Amino acid sequence: MRIIIVGFNAAGLSAAINARKTNLDAEIVVYEKEKYLPYSRCGIPFVISGEVKSFQELMEYPEEFYEKNNIEIHLNCEVTSVDPANKKIHVVKDGTASTDRYDRLILALGGTPRVPPIKGIDKGNVFYVRTITDGEHILKAAKTFEKCAIIGGGMVGLEMADALSKLGVKVTIIDRKTQILPNLLDEDMTRRILPEFSKRGIRLILNGRCTEIIGDKKVQAIKVNDEILPTDFVIISTAVDPNVLLAVKAGIELGELGAIKVNMRMETSIKDIYACGDCVELPDLITGRSSCFQVRTGADSMGAVAGVNAAGGYSVLPAILIVGMLQLFNMQIAHVGYTERQAKQRGIIPIVSIVEGKTKADYYPGAKWIQVKLIFELESTTLIGAQIVGEEGVAMRAIFLSAAMTNKMTASELAKLHIGYTPPLNNHIEPICRAAEAAYDNIKICLLQLPE
C-alpha cells in the first residue's frame, strides 16, 4: 500500500504518524511545497517576540524521526494536479515535472492568508503571517523599522501586536468590526482587555476600513477611514482561505463553506482520497452546521483520523467543537463553541451569565481574577458557548468546558459538578460552576416569562 500525503504540516504530519502507527508496512510518501520539515506555525509570534530563540526551535521532529518511521519526504515540491482515474499525482520541483502513483491519497493542503481588496496591497513591506519565511521577513522589519500597522484584530493580529510591542515597535491595529476577537468573544468580554492596548502604546482602530496602502515601491503610509497613517510595514491578518484548487481540479466535491467536504472518516467524494486540516469543513458539534476548524488541534485530530483510515484502520471524527485560546499581554483568553451573537444568528435563544471570580482562595496570596461567560440553549439548558478571560488557569478551563459541551451538560449539572479544592490551587467557589448556577436561575425565570 502506497499512501501519498500532499502537504506536510500539522495535519499532514499527524496523518503520516497515525498511518505509520496503523500500518507498519505501508509506503508513506509526503510532498510539501515549503522548504521546511513540519514546524509549529502557532509559535511564529513567540520567535518574533524573542520568547523563543529561533525559528529552528519550532521544528516538530528532527530529520531522524522521519527516517526511523520510514516516511519519505519531498520538500520544495508543488503538486500541480491529481488524476484519480489513474491514481496519480503530478509534481513540479525546481521547474522539473514528474508523476507519482498512490493507493490512498491524503490532501492536507492547508490554507492561505486572504488578500484583502486594498489598493496598493502588493507593495513592499506588506507581510502575512503563515510561514517561517513570513516570520523571518517580519522579524527583520521589526528590527529595522519603527512603525507597524496590523490589519485584522483576530487572534494572529493581536499576538503579533503583542510580540512587536515587546520589541519596541509602535503598533496600530485596524479592524473593520466594532470589536476585537469577534470570532472568540462577545463585546462584553473584551472590556477588560481593551485598556491593555493603550497601556502598551498600541493604537487600536475599530470600525477601521483600510482603503489604500500608500508609497512608491514600499509602504510609507496607509489610509484608514480617510486618515493617513504613516507606517513602515504592514501585517495582514484578516482571514485564512482553505486551499482547495487541487481538489477542485480533481473533481472533489466542496462543502457549503467552499472547503473540502469529507465524511466522518475524512473521505472526500472521490474514493481513496482523504482530506484533513485547514482545507476541510466538518459539522460543528452543537448544531451540525458546517464549519472550518483552522487550528492546530483540529489539524491534529483530522490528520489522525485520515491517517488511520487511509492506512486500513478505522477511526471517526463525526463533528468538531471550536476551542480557541491565546495569551495577550498579561491576559489569557479562551472560547469554546458559540458566542452569544453566533447563537442568536443561528436562531437560538441564549441564556447567558457572566461571573467574575478568583483562581485561588480569596485569602491566599497571589489569587488572580478570572471572568467567565457561559451561554446555554434555553429549552435543553445545555451549554453551547463559553468565554474566559483571566490571568491564569484559562486554557485548562476551556478544555474542561469543551468536555462539558461535548457531553451536552446542562446548567444545573455544571453548577453541581464535583470539584475538589485546596486554597493554593483553586477556589472552592469555581467561577464556572457559579456562572452555571446564575444561568440556571436565569433559565427558570425565562421559562416562566415565555409567552404561552
Give the residues lining the site for its own copies (CB under 8 A).
Answer: 40, 42-43, 46, 51-52, 57-58, 285, 295-298, 300-301, 317, 320-327, 332, 334, 336, 361, 363-365, 393-400, 402-404, 406-407, 409, 413-414, 416-426, 428-430
**Shortest distance, position 46 Cβ to its own copies, whole Å:** 6
CB of 360 to its own copies, least distance (A): 9
Q: Per the structure block, which three cell numbers stand in for 289?
A: 452546521
SS3 351: strand
Which lies closer to its own copies via its Cβ, residue 102 or residue 338? 338
Helix (H, G, I), strand (E, B) or coil at 59: strand
Estimate the share of the chain in helix, then strand, then coil, as percent rounded to the nearest 5: 30, 30, 40
Q: For residue 176, is it left (φ>0), alpha (ψ between -120 and 50) or beta? A: alpha
Q: In 3D, which of 290, 255, 289, 299 has the Cα closest to residue 109? A: 299
Lookup result for grid cell 530529520: 63
Give the up-direction half-sphere exposure of residue 275: CA atoms within 13 A in the CB hemisphere: 30
Q: Are 84 and 273 in contact (CB under 8 A)?
A: yes
Contact criterion met (CB below 8 Å) for 32 and 77? yes
Of 148 and 184, which has the nearer Cβ to its own copies? 184
Task: For the chain, report the end-to-end CA distance as a whole number of angstroms.
Answer: 62
In the bound state with its own copies, the residue whose beta carbon lies nearer, of 34 and 437, is 437
To its own copies, the closest distance from the beta carbon of 162 in angstroms equals 10
Between 417 and 446, CB nearer to its own copies: 417
- CA-wise closest residue to 284 among 345, 373, 349: 345
Nearer to its own copies, 212 or 441 (CB): 441
d(CA 221, CA 242): 30
Residue in 42, 210, 279, 433 annotated catalytic: 42
Please identify, using beta-carbon distances, which residue of 184 and 348 lies nearer to its own copies: 184
Distance of CA 100 to the CA centre of its chain: 32
Q: Report the nearest approach of its own copies to the CB of residue 2 (Å).
A: 26
| Residue 375 beta carbon to its own copies: minimum distance, rounded to whole angstroms | 17
Question: CA 428 to CA 102: how far, in whole Å?
Answer: 57
Task: Provide, rounded to whole angstroms, the least separation between the CB of residue 219 and its own copies.
Answer: 29
42 is catalytic: yes
Instruction: Give me the active site residues, please.
Output: 42
